[in-house]
Amino acid sequence: MQATQPGGSQWPTLVDWFASHALGLAIFTPAAVACWTGEVFHLLHAGRRKRNGLLLLLVCIVTIGVFGQSRFHLLYCALPPIALLAFQADASAVLVGPLMCLAIAVWFTMHGSGPFWIEPYGSMQARIFALQLYLVAALAIALPISVAQAQRNRLIARLRDGERRYQVLAENATDIVMSVGLDGRIIYVSPRIIPVLGYAPEDLIGVRYSELVLPDDCDAIVTAFESLTAAKAEVSLDSRLRRPDGQARWIKTYLRLVVDPFSGKPEMLAVTVRDITERKTAEQRLADERTELQGLAFRDGLTGLFNRRHFDRELERVWRQHTHAESRNPVAAMMIDIDAFKSYNDHDGHQSGDECLRRVAQAIASAARRPTDIAARYGGEEFALILADTDQHGALIVAERIRAGIENLRIPHPACQTGIVTISVGVAAQRPGEDGDGSALVAAADKALYSAKQRGRNRACMVDTDVVSHIAG
């Protein structure tokens, strides 16, 4: 069987047929997709129903006005409502609008009215074909606008949603959230600042953040801002902020640089402020307690002088320090004992004895004037001193000063032959050497104290260097 070849006159008809159907598919396919995906039902959304209906009604009215007459060339007047529909309405309305325009235009064109009857078209088929091209052109204008507008609306919605979420988090966070410009001026403050620091957010807008902290901490804040802007890092620091009532609060400030994602340039600073006053107060209380405990560990509770434990540690430290020093200056030790103190206690009682110990301790501390002098209660009625960089002559002068100072207190002591409280002092001094330690020095001073007791008390005695060296050996 032989295939029939189409004649040359059939080709234009076939091309017209194909083009006409292709245009029809181009017009109806978007609408079919909208119906298939359910997008068309968005027309009935309660929040958009009125706006979509008014825009579609405008398209219908303008299309009727354009195609309902054949005197004026108003064909392109039907495009602005479709463009407006693309800008303002949902995608479903954009797809339905051209179809309504097409239905109205076809009806008027088929009944001999409209702009296509003004032009000298050869047939009705040519007019319909031109009408299809016109609608395809309208869709080509409307659909890209609608897609771009939909993307824009989604972006705006995401931005609004992000802003809303940020605002909810900022307003309900336990910390204070701020946005600060690169110049250090506050742009935004969360309401949390009202109960925490007592400021109204609107009163801080435009204020430099560094102006809120105390002057002593201002330089640290300014330096942190500058380093953050230069290094694009995160910074945290503690500072003190003054409340409107004048009360100072400790705050911890977290600074983070916000960079514009498009330009890559710094945009502003995100600042989080946390009130740490309670933590700082607790830390200070612990530090005070630690200092107090340290004082209890190394201080004598009755006299306020150092105790024997601290005396032994300081003697070892001073001796070691002078051993390794180039000059090797001498170190002096002094042992002090209240004369006939047991009789004083037996005669006046322990309370008076404690008061006597306190007064003697004050006199000894007053005589030990240099910051390096260490005065301690060695035990019972015994006291001890360490005099760094002091030779025998200098130590003896200090000893005599202490003895005379206590004698001048004129504390009554009926059991003593002088009638007042006196002391006996033993003094020893030596240059530290590589061998031995400070214990020999104390032993020598104690030997000198025994000698002072033997010689009648109320005096200061000294042993020479050879005795100290003999004890050390």
| Phi, psi angles (nearest 5°) of residue 140 | -65, -30
Q: CA 343, CA 417: separation in Å to the nearest integer?
A: 11
Residues 6 or more apart in contact with residue 218 via CB below 8 angstroms? 210, 211
Contact yes or no for 156/168 (Cβ under 8 A): no
In this structure, is the dihedral angle defined by the CA atoms of residues 80, 82, 83 and 88, taken in order, positive or negative? positive
Best CA proximity match to 333, nearest among 398, 423, 401 = 398
Catalytic residue among 381, 382, 400, 434: 381
Q: Is 206 exposed, middle or buried (0-12, 13-18, 19+ CB in 10 A)?
A: exposed
* Helix segments in 232-261, DSSP class H: none
User: Which residues share a beta bridge with 426?
Assistant: 335, 461
- The answer to whether 381 is a known catalytic residue is yes
Best CA proximity match to 426, nearest among 410, 408, 442, 407 = 442
Relative to beta strand 423-430, strand 460-462 is: parallel
Residues 6 or more apart in contact with residue 339 via CB below 8 angstroms? 416, 421, 422, 423, 424, 453, 457, 458
DSSP letter for each residue of 419-439: SB--EEEEEEEE---SS--HH
Q: CA 259, CA 366: separation in Å to the nearest integer?
A: 64
Quick count: other Cβ atoms within 10 Å of Cβ 459?
17
Identify the helix (H) or strand (E) that includes residue 170: helix 124-172
Best CA proximity match to 215, nearest among 177, 182, 245, 248 = 248
Quick count: other Cβ atoms within 10 Å of Cβ 3?
5
Q: Is 263 exposed, middle or buried (0-12, 13-18, 19+ CB in 10 A)?
A: exposed
Helix axes 438-454, 465-472, angle to 10 degrees: 120
Residues annotated as part of the active site: 381
